[in-house]
Amino acid sequence: MKTILLNETPGDIERAGEILRGGGLVGVPTETVYGLAADALNGEAVARIFRAKGRPMDNPLIVHIADFSDIERFSLVREIPESARLLAERFWPGPLTMIMKKGEVIPDEVSAGLDTVAIRYPSHPAARAIIKAAKTPLAAPSANLSGSPSPTTAAHVMNDLSGRIEAVLDGGSCEVGLESTVITLAGEKPRVLRPGGVTVEQLREALGEVEVDDAVLHRLSEGERAASPGMKYKHYSPKANVILLRGSDEAFIEYTNAHSGDGVAALCCDEDIAALRTEAYSLGKRGDYSAQAHSLFELLRRLDESGRIRTVYSRLPGTDGVGLAVYNRLIRAAGFEVIDLEKK
C-alpha cells in the first residue's frame, strides 16, 4: 500500500473523511500527538489499527469527537456524569480524555473488553475538521509503531507507518507534544491514569478531590493489574539506554561529565549546555515544563536516528504542573532506572 500525504486544505480534509468512512486508516494531527484514526463504530476498521501499529489487542483506544453533543448523538456512553460536564466546560476542546461507562455501540475492539470507553474532544482545527468530514467519531491511539515514542510531526508518522496505512494529514508540529491527560470518571472517585497537558492541579481546582493512580509514578509490580492497560507496557522507549539522574543542577553536570565518552549523550536543560563536556540535547529551559513536554519525543527520536548513542544521562523534572507528565514519560523511557545523586 502506498501511503499518501495530505495537507490542511478543504479538499484533502474531505479526502481523509472519505477514506475513514470507507474503513481506512489516516494519521491525524492533534494538539497532543498524531493519532492513527479509524471509524470508531466499525470494529473491523478499528482492528486494522492494532495490526498496523503492532499494538496488543488488550489495550483500549480513545474515541475522538468534534463536539460535546457527539457523545449523546452517537450514544457513546451509558450516562454522562456531572463531573464530565464540569470538566468539558473547562478543558474541552483540549488535551483531556475522560473515561465513562460505555454505550452499546462501542465495538469490543475499541474498549478491549472493558465496560468503559475513553473520550476526547481535541482542539486541533484539522482534527476537528477531519472528524466532521468522516461524520463519525474516530478511534485513535498515537500514530507510532507500538513501543516507540509518540509522533509529533507528520514525518514521524511516515517513518513508522508508511506502507501500512492509507494516508497521513500534515497539520504541522504538535503543540503539547505529549499525549492527553487521562482521567477515569467511572469509579467512585475521579482518578488520573495518565498525566498530560491538563494538570492534576487544574483538575482538582475543577472537581475537588482527584486521585492519581500509582502507575503514574511507579513501576507496577509483577501481576499487578493496570487501571489503564497502556501503563503496564514499557513505553516511549528509545533504543539508547536512558538513565535518569535525580539531584541538583551541579550534581547532574558533574556526574554526566565524569561519565562522558563515546556513544554517551546528555538530555539536559538550556542552562546546562555550557558546562557539559558531552554531546547535549536540550529539552528547554529549567522549570519550563511545557517546553520540555513539547520537545521530549522529538529528542528521543533524534537520539535513535543518530545511531551512535548508546547511553543517555537525563534530567528528571519536578512532579508539579506539566512536570508530572514529562516525569511519567521519562521514567518509562528509562525503564524506571533512576540514580539518586544526593544519596551517594
The residue behind cell 494529514 is: 169
Which residue type, as a one-letter code, is found at position 57?
A: M
| Nearest-approach distance from CB 95 to ligand TXA, in angstroms | 6
**142 counts as binding Mg ion under rule CB under 5 A:** yes
| Nearest-approach distance from CB 178 to Mg ion, in angstroms | 10
- CA dihedral sign, ordered 144, 149, 151, 153: negative
15 binds, among Mg ion, ligand TXA, none (CB under 5 to 8 A by kind): none
| Nearest-approach distance from CB 135 to ligand TXA, in angstroms | 19
- CA dihedral sign, ordered 208, 213, 214, 218: negative
CA distance 42 to 117: 15
Segment near ligand TXA (CB under 6 A); pick from 151-159, 212-220, 223-231, 296-304:
223-231
CA distance 3 to 223: 39
Q: What are the grid coordinates assigned to 164, written together?
A: 501500512
Reference 286, options 300, 268, 303; nearest CA is 268
Segment near Mg ion (CB under 5 A); pick from 138-146, 166-174, 247-255, 303-311:
138-146
Who's near 230: CB < 8 A, 6+ residues apart? 59, 194
**182 counts as binding ligand TXA under rule CB under 6 A:** yes
Helix or strand or coil: residue 232? helix
138 binds, among ligand TXA, Mg ion, none (CB under 5 to 8 A by kind): none
Binders of ligand TXA: how many residues, by CB under 6 A? 28
Residue number of the CB closest to ligand TXA reads: 230
251 binds, among ligand TXA, Mg ion, none (CB under 5 to 8 A by kind): none
Binders of Mg ion: how many residues, by CB under 5 A? 1
**Nearer to Mg ion (CB atom), residue 142 or residue 228:** 142
Segment near Mg ion (CB under 5 A); pick from 76-84, 96-104, 141-149, 185-193:
141-149
Alpha-helix residue ranges (DSSP H) falling in the chain? 10-21, 43-53, 70-73, 82-91, 108-111, 125-134, 154-161, 200-207, 249-258, 289-306, 323-333
What is the DSSP secondary structure assignment for residue 315, as one 8-state letter?
A: E
**118 counts as binding ligand TXA under rule CB under 6 A:** yes
Peptide bond into 93 cis (omega under 30): yes
Contact 80, 185 (CB under 8 A): no
* Per-residue contact string for residues 76-115; x = within reach of ligand TXA by CB under 6 A: ---------------------x-x-----------x--x-
| Nearest-approach distance from CB 146 to Mg ion, in angstroms | 8
CA distance 109 to 113: 7
23 binds, among ligand TXA, Mg ion, none (CB under 5 to 8 A by kind): none
In this chain, which of 136, 199, 228, 282 binds ligand TXA, going by CB under 6 A? 228
Residue number of the CB closest to Mg ion reads: 142
**137 counts as binding ligand TXA under rule CB under 6 A:** no
CA dist list (Å): 323 to 87, 181, 220, 234, 292? 21, 13, 21, 20, 8
Which residue type, as a one-letter code, is found at position 94?
A: G
**125 counts as binding ligand TXA under rule CB under 6 A:** no
Q: Which residues bind Mg ion (CB under 5 A)?
A: 142
Q: Which residues bind ligand TXA (CB under 6 A)?
A: 30, 32-33, 35, 59-62, 97, 99, 111, 114, 116-118, 120, 140-142, 179-180, 182, 193-194, 228-231
